[in-house]
Amino acid sequence: MKTLVIPEDILQATRMSDEELKQEIAVMLFQKEKLTLGQAAHLAGMSQLQFQHLLASRQIPVHYDVEEFEEDLKTLKDLGRL
């Protein structure tokens, strides 16, 4: 696992907590279809349902197909959550 370090001055400039910044990055990557719903929720530190509620509150549609479902199942198995 790699770690991304965000300099403290950059984090302070955003006026966001670590959790808020992770959520913003997750939403952006999900919107750009770089992450699946499950991956984005994991990055945001949320359950998929919580992440879906976050997307809905921002009127961001959930694009979720069979391929993404299968990828999420694999991710969950890899993480030992299934």
**Whether the Cβ atoms of residue 60 and residue 27 lie closer than 8 Å to each other:** yes
pLDDT digits (tens, 9 = 90+) for 51-75: 999 999 999 888 767 777 888 788 8
Question: Is 46:54 a contact under the CB 8 Å cutoff?
Answer: yes
Cut 0.85: pTM above it: no
In sequence order, the 6+-apart residues with CB closer than 8 A to the CB of 36 are 30, 64, 68, 71, 72, 75
